[in-house]
Chains A and B, each alone.
Chain A
Amino acid sequence: MAPVAPRSGDAIFASVERVNSELFTLTYGAIVRQLLTDLEEVDEVNKQLDQMGYNIGVRLVDEFLAKSNVSRCVDFKETTEVIAKVGFKMFLGVTASVTNWDADGTSCSLILEDNPLVDFVELPDTCQGLYYCNIISGVIRGALEMVSMKTEVSWIRDMLRGDDVFELHVKLLKQVPEEYPYKDDE
């Protein structure tokens, strides 16, 4: 029998080694700060953060799968639930909730009420267009791509912009079937 996927990441969170959250938050802050200095344009920083997140996500998915014992999800709904309850808990120490499903079950919102990345952060006037946590959307996009789901992930609500929660919109574009990778004439 396949092991039943855990419905909460608490046990895994308790068993993995952690770093001081302040160190983590400030390190992330330093990266964003440096990107703002280097790239100057806020839009470019958003893009770069998303790309960095993507690169993290394609690796993180293996760690997630190895430690969580999740073998497969039956549908996209279960996938998002696992991300919200297990994935976020494992790597950020918080959980998210999933809402706002559309009719055909291909897009939804992940609501984060608590986000350790934004402790100490206030957006100055010069950075109003900055999606400070854009790395998270990149991670989700990268990780899902590795399990053959092309997605589009974007921020809808952001506490740094005065909203009451963080809301990430995840839209499933396409599931990529597994093909035989070699050509016959190779």
Chain B
Amino acid sequence: MQFFGGSEISPSPPLPTASGNNGHMMYVFNRNGICLLYREWNRPLHTLNAQQDHKLMFGLLFSLKSLTAKMDPTSVDKGNLGVPQLPGQGCSFHSFRTNTYKLSFMESPSGIKIILVTHPRTGDLRESLKYIYNLYVEYVVKNPLYTPGTPIRCELFDSTLDQYFRSHLIHMVELAKLMVAHHPSFPVTILITTATKPDNSTATDNQSRLIHHSCHHLPPPPSPDSTL
């Protein structure tokens, strides 16, 4: 029996990548619209100040949620658009995609909203969002000196998130892109094994997982001498 052991977070789900450096921004809100955390990894353009930006993002999610609930063809009991809903009432969305980015969204019943803005070709991020929620529990909620509902200042949480997004995956994909750039006919597949916990509780855990990242479908970059 172990005393005071921090509970272990299961191995992180790999970020499903389609290409390139994936994470753009991440927001964490609570129910009162307070932005607990904002991180950005790759955001070339800022058009608003930070506070307006956060408010707009929260407003977008809030409105989109009530719209999606209103348009739900499977449920009959819905109020007028804009009428406050009880948490958990109505349906919700988990992502939307534009031609320039993809927004993935998760909301816990306790009102914590986690938003990831990524490359438009990113796959399903729901597992990643759940993993981030777990990180939030371990590094933020369990910190006795953190006051719930205030912006998160926690280096450990930040660095763990950074690590998750910038993990070896990015480098591998960058390398693959480079190889594809020089040899367009040469398909590159990255195989990543994620080691499982040493104390395997079930038999199926014994096998390490294999994730395939195929990069051969990347469009060849424009060659320098091409004329338009």
Contacts and interface: CB of A to CB of B under 8 A. Distances in A.
Contact of A72 (B84, B88, B148, B201): B88
A124 interface: no
Report, as a range, how many residues of chain B touch the other chain.
Answer: 20 to 34
A163 interface: no
Interface stretch (B19-27, B38-46, B108-116, B176-184): B108-116
From A61, A62, A70, A175, residue with most partner B Cβ within 10 Å:
A62
Contacts, number: 85
A4 interface: no
B148 A59 contact: yes
Interface stretch (A15-23, A29-37, A114-122): A15-23
| Chain A binding surface, main DSSP class | loop
From A66, A70, A71, A179, residue with most partner B Cβ within 10 Å:
A66
A178 B3 contact: no
Contacts of B85: 177-178
Interface in A130-155: 146-148
Interface of A: 14-20, 23, 58-59, 61-63, 65-67, 70-73, 146-148, 175-182
B1 to A, nearest CB: 6
Interface string B48-81: 0000000100110010000000000000000000
A177 B84 contact: yes
Contacts of A19: 1-4
B105 interface: no
B84 A179 contact: yes
Interface stretch (B5-13, B95-103, B211-219): B5-13
B33 to A, nearest CB: 4
A17 B6 contact: yes
A20 B1 contact: yes
A16 B7 contact: yes
A178 B27 CA distance: 19
26 contacts: A15-B201, A17-B2, A17-B5, A17-B8, A18-B2, A19-B1, A19-B3, A19-B4, A59-B141, A59-B142, A62-B136, A62-B137, A66-B130, A71-B88, A72-B109, A146-B110, A147-B88, A147-B110, A148-B86, A148-B87, A177-B85, A177-B86, A178-B85, A179-B84, A180-B33, A182-B55
